Amino acid sequence: MSTSPFAVPRAPYAEDPSKSRGRRYQEDESRTRTPFARDRDRIIHTSAFRRLKEKTQVFVAHEGDQFRTRLTHSLEVAQIARSLATALGLDADLAETIALAHDLGHPPFGHAGEDELELQTKEFGGFDHNVQTFRVVTELEHRYPDFVGLNLTWETLEGVIKHNGPVIHKLGQPSWKAISKYDGEYGLKLDTWASAEAQVAALSDDIAYNNHDIDDGVEAGLFTLDELMDVPLIGPILAAVRSERPDLDARITRLEAVRRMIGAMVDDVMGETLQRAAITGVASADEVRALPHALVSFSSDMLEDLARLREFLHARMYRHWRVNRTRSQARRILAEMFTLFLAEPEVLPSEWFAKSQNRDQAGRARVVCDYIAGMTDRFAIEEHRKLFHLDVWS
């Protein structure tokens, strides 16, 4: 029998689900899934994951249904992470799981919402979407009779909180108090890098958003294909597509260029990662954690090109007046709701009002923050209207 050309030997530094450090609360193993696959399925079934369908990536949900949302972004990240992990001989289930979970804590309205919640909670402990993601999977989701949270494996929790690298230096920040407390009870080695699979998820996030922001930016009319011609990475790829296929219309040209750019970035990560693995000689997952730098990485040339691309996107997309206008509206909506809920908790829905009772002001502020952070864009807009405009009840 012939061997599939896509069969890649398992890397010696891959995580082995049969050797997982386990879960905080003892459970019988699944008969049909590895521990990491089971984590993935638990994440997919959460309320927080479903709500990502109407949370902003760049464009607010009501601006058009063709643009990416946090849910479609997470799915794209997961697809890239699974493919890249498979090609590198890593555990694809773990990489996919961390990718699917990485944005669960994002509030409505994207980074504008995060900035506003951080401002509103500054004197009450602050807000960080990575910490909020961790709280979602360990505390806020309550779906099982014997524990709160999802009771995910140690490896998944580690990847959720430190996929971008060591976070020990953040523990002094008030917004990271929840992580410090959890780590004290269930050590997550916050001073080291995470698994190679978690690092794959982090890089897949970069690959996904750089590419779909180009796609969405052109689709929204914020810039044109011609304006991308002088931008590193996408410019040469776009020129090649136009040269090879002058028969293509603008839409297919754009989609083909984005497809090729994803491939180029994936190839770059694979080449750089395999080179680093050979140089360092890592032979186990724990040796990956012990490295003084990331194992999974872009090359220096790719990082330089991406920095130039991000400069273009910041100037022409993320700070475009249309996006700025939406950011301003979004921040006012969240600020006004936060102020009202904190001053008058009795207008919160019953479940959340009950949670706000018998707490000091900081505790009530955290409940209000959790309620707002869980909202979709559409729900936040409607909730704001109901709270501040009586005519919506007629």
Give the rounded percent of residues in the chain with a pLDDT score beyond 70.
Answer: 95
Range of the domain at 93: 35-107+125-186
What does the pLDDT read at residue 58? 61
**Domain end point (choices 135, 161, 186):** 186
pLDDT at 4 over 80: no
Closest CA to 133 of 98, 164, 105, 92: 105
| CATH of residue 48 | 1.10.3210.10
pLDDT band at 9 (very low <50, low <70, confident <90, very high): very high
State the pLDDT at residue 207: 97
CA distance 163 to 68: 22
Residue 367 pLDDT greater than 70, yes or no: yes
Within a domain: 58: yes
Phi and psi at residue 192, to the nearest 5°: -120, 170
String of b and e for 96-115 (b: at least 16 CB within 10 Å)? bbbbbbbbbbbbbbbbbbbb
- Check whether residue 255 and residue 151 sit in a common domain: no
CA pair distance 365, 359, nearest whole angstrom:
9
Return the ∠ at Cα 198 (arms to 196 and 201), rounded to 5°.
Answer: 110
Q: Are residues 233 and 301 in the same domain?
A: yes
Average pLDDT value for residue range 37-43: 98
Residues 182 and 41 placed together within one structural domain of the fold = yes
What distance in Å separates the CA atoms of residue 235 and residue 5, rounded to the nearest whole number? 32
214-261 pLDDT, tens digit per residue, is: 998 898 888 999 999 999 999 999 999 999 999 999 999 999 999 999
CA–CA distance, 291 with 89 (Å, rounded to integer): 19
Query: Which tokens is 324 given?
Result: 């700025």
Q: How far apart are CA 9 and CA 301, in angstroms?
A: 28
Please give the Cα distance from 374 to 112 (Å, whole number). 15
Mean pLDDT of the residues in the chain: 93
Alpha helices (runs of H) in the chain, residue ranges in sequence order: 35-44, 47-51, 70-87, 92-101, 110-120, 129-135, 154-162, 177-185, 196-219, 225-228, 234-244, 250-280, 285-290, 300-313, 321-343, 350-356, 361-373, 377-388
pLDDT of 203 higher than 50: yes
Query: What is the total count of domains within the chain?
Result: 2
Angle at alpha carbon of residue 41, lines to 38 and 44, rounded to 5° = 155
Question: Left, alpha or beta for 110 (phi > 0: left; psi -120 to 50: alpha)?
Answer: left
From 186, 212, 235, the end of a domain falls on 186
pLDDT digits (tens, 9 = 90+) for 91-122: 999 999 999 999 999 999 988 999 999 999 99
Shared domain for 291 and 226, answered yes or no, is yes
In a domain, 129, yes or no: yes
Do residues 127 and 49 touch, judged by C-beta distance below 8 A?
no
Q: Which of 104, 128, 103, 133 is nearest to 114 (CA)?
A: 128
Q: Which pLDDT belongs to residue 394? A: 47
Name the CA radius of gyration of the chain, rounded: 22
Are residues 103 and 225 located together in one domain of the fold? no
Domain shared by 81 and 161, yes or no: yes
Residues 250 and 298 in one domain: yes
1 confidence band (pLDDT: 50, 70, 90): very low
Q: What is the mean pLDDT of residues 154-179?
A: 96
| Same domain for 224 and 146 | no
Six-digit token string for 76? 């794209």
- Please determine, for residue 56, whether its predicted confidence score (pLDDT) is greater than 80: no
* Residue 130 placed within a domain: yes
Distance between CA atoms of 384 and 57, rounded to whole angstroms? 20
